[in-house]
Amino acid sequence: MIPISVCIIGKNEEKHIEKCLAPLSGRGFEIIYTDTGSCDRTKELAAKYADAVYDFEWIDDFSAARNFSLEKASRDYVLILDCDEYLTDLDAEALSAAIEAHPQGVGQLLRNSYTDGQMGEGASAERIDRLFDKRRYHYIYTIHEQVADKRTDSTDYERYPIPVTVDHVGYLGSAEEKRRKAERNNELLFKEIERHPTDPYFYFQAGQSFNLIDDYENAYQYYKKAFALPLNPVNLWVYVMANNFITACIQTDREEEALALYTPVYDIYAKDAAFLCAMASLYLNLSPPQPMKAMMEFVKVLQAPLSLSGEDLSGAALYGMGYCNELLGNLPAAQDFYEKAAARNYPPASQIPAAAPDTPMPPISVCIIGKNEEKNIEHCLAPLAKLGLEIIYVDTGSTDRTKELAAKYTDRLYDFEWISDFSAARNFSISKASHNYVLAIDCDEFLTQIDPAALARAIDEHPRGVGTIQLDNYCESENGPTCIPNRLERLFHKRYYHYENPIHEQICEIKTGSTYYERYDAPIVADHVGYAGTAEERRQKTARNNELLFQEIAKHPDDPYNYFQVAQSYNFTSDYENAYLYYKKAFDLGLDTANPWVYVMANNFINVCVQLGRGEEALSLYLPVYHDYADNPAFLCSMGSLYLDLEPPQPLKAVMEFVKVLQAPVSPDGIDYSPIALYGMGYSNELLGKADAAIDFYRKSAEKGYPLAQQKLAELQ
């Protein structure tokens, strides 16, 4: 491979730095890390991988720091990465060939960026300028720096794709973290605007900062200021702005204004597939929508499937054409386009069930309650309506367009005056069902799979049972967006069962109030996106839930279930200290291990103890009652992890727990924990110094799709 120096700058990046540098080591790169003032362990961790670590006194100038790092590189060709970018793919031979073919150009790597709003939708891919000869190019601009020709500061140069792919997680994080980042960036941007009031680039970047924190009003204002200045379409950021400005207009109900602004200059941007997709979305968001005009834009996308950023938007265009046909009432054509989009791995299309099957659905009423769910309600109801299911929607006080949108899919709409009791609302919805068997789902759950014939058989075989459905929960983890499947009780005969508990309601027998009933797997799968919101949304949800839960605790101070649910709420927002306190209160009361939630608590309580450095306490709590939970693979995995987090770790005891998981790989929650167990056995062997055995277990785990094992293999091989 042609000699290349990888140049990285950072500050207080101990959360990311090892994940960034580890995949680079052992590939022949010179790694240069420049620190701009860290007060955490970033430099210490970077030194494990970097060839050289330098300090640069921060002067509010990203380009100055970048150029300093370039000066320290001993090689002419430099590859620029950020600490929150992790190398996932590299073809060394093809990279050398690309450089030799474009010696004076700037290479663009492929970056897959993850955002909180894309938990279930994958990453957005783009190509960005990152590889060049440092003798010819350097960086300009104090903030949102750009590669430029050293002689002219021009950004108009030859660009070419390089076979380098990274995952970017910088857009993930809490709402507060994003807000602070936007404020820091805008502080510098506003200074640049004062110096260069006629340069649209800085207004554009201020719009981007506000867009990052979903402040669409301010994003609109700054995009508009940039748009009002002369724009040079040679610059790729101009096309990004065109796309994002339209989105900001849609978010702020300025669709007609956006149309008036862009129609006269349409030809300037129409070579970019992302812009064409944005224009199509604009037509679909007009009131009334204009699906025929939107269709024309999507057709143009298919004629030029790659955006200027390198992203293939053909899947999005095919999905859009499906939606246009659906609006036009041409359902067979809509289904055909959805299937074509799914074949191109466009996630939203794959979430739409196939057209109503030949086998009729068994008589089931789908009962849904909701409030202010205009963001989710159509995604929830559309798949159900396609299958011909009776849909009962009960609204508990919406002030947005939820009821109006729901009415497009069902005429069984009812209002229920909210009395701080979810079970009361659920039972009201059940009372409106015309069928005996009811399926209860939430507005943020989107049906993706159902087998009518198998469902009918399951109901016939378990007439008094409660069916569990598989929910694929999308959420954010420390390793990026992830999906965690589990099974929940949702399908039952309304003469035998109803809901109890005002909050975190449970299905109970009507006669006895018991939750000890036969459970069976119903062939139904749905995506759940309720965990994929911002940190602030999660905090607000926790506060609302806990208000009701504390009322229940006051009424029933000896019921561990309510303490458990309070702890779950705190765990949901990463408030581990409060989660620990309430899990422990539940644990100290009498627990009936026949209840499935007890196993969930056992698992989560251990994980919270680990997060707080209380591993020894967790061990002393659980060893006396270990046999009560030892038939649950999730609990065994947590125990294995607990032994590995002790000081010092006990890998042999951890291995014993992971072996038990492999002997019973399916948990009551429907999750296969064997990949986690295999990974844990790999890590245990690594701690024991058995590198070959560790790699073998990591490989077995990676073959089952476990991402941490794939990352470990990349580090060790």
The domain 4-168: what is its CATH number?
3.90.550.10
d(CA 451, CA 522): 9
Q: 150: closest CA among 136, 129, 130, 140?
A: 136
Tell me the fold of 364-528. Spore Coat Polysaccharide Biosynthesis Protein SpsA; Chain A (3.90.550)
What pLDDT was estimated at residue 307? Answer: 78
Instruction: From residue 31, give the alpha-carbon distance in Å to each of 24, 37, 94, 146, 711.
Output: 8, 19, 20, 21, 19
Q: pTM of the entire structure?
A: 0.46
Degrees, nearest 5: CA angle 448-449-450: 135
- Contacts for 131 with CB less than 8 Å, ≥ 6 apart: 4, 77, 78, 79, 80, 99, 106, 107, 108, 109, 162, 164
Q: What is the pLDDT of residues 269-297, one digit of tens each?
A: 988 899 999 999 999 988 888 888 898 89
What pLDDT was estimated at residue 665? Answer: 58
Degrees, nearest 5: CA angle 314-320-323: 150
Task: Establish whether domains 4-168 and 364-528 are of one fold.
Answer: yes
- Give the residues across from 166 on adjacent strands: 87, 111
Domain boundaries, the chain: 4-168, 175-350, 364-528, 535-716
What pLDDT was estimated at residue 356? Answer: 46
Instruction: From residue 260, give the alpha-carbon distance in Å to each of 257, 278, 279, 292.
Output: 5, 14, 12, 18
Positions in the chain whose pLDDT score sits under 50: 117-121, 355-356, 479-481
Asked if residue 351 lies in contact with residue 448, where contact means CB atoms within 8 angstroms, the answer is: yes
Q: What is the pLDDT of residues 362-418, one digit of tens each?
A: 999 999 999 999 988 998 998 898 888 999 999 999 999 999 999 999 999 999 999
d(CA 323, CA 285): 12
- Give the residues across from 136 on adjacent strands: none
Q: Which residue has the tokens 């724009």?
A: 231
Tell me the fold of 175-350. 1.25.40
What pLDDT was estimated at residue 175? Answer: 67
What is the residue-wise DSSP string for 578-623? HHHHHHHHHHHS---TTSHHHHHHHHHHHHHHHHTT-HHHHHHHHG
- For residue 712, give the 3-state DSSP assignment: helix
Q: Which residue has the tokens 């020709």?
A: 149
Helix, strand and coil in the chain, % to nearest 5 = 50, 20, 35
What is the residue-wise DSSP string for 486-554? EEEEEEEETTTEEEE-SSS-EEEETTT------EEEEEEEEEE-TT-S-HHHHHHHHHHHHHHHHHHHH
What pLDDT was estimated at residue 455? Answer: 93
Helix (H) or strand (E) holding 86: strand 85-90
Degrees, nearest 5: CA angle 450-453-454: 70
The side-by-side arrangement of strands in the sheet containing 466-477 is 413-415, 390-395, 364-370, 437-440, 480-493, 466-477, 519-528, 445-450
What pLDDT was estimated at residue 483? Answer: 62
Tell me the fold of 535-716. 1.25.40
Q: Tokens representing 265?
A: 């200059």
Direct distance between the N- and C-terminal alpha carbons of the chain, in angstroms, rounded to an integer = 18
What pLDDT was estimated at residue 56? Answer: 96
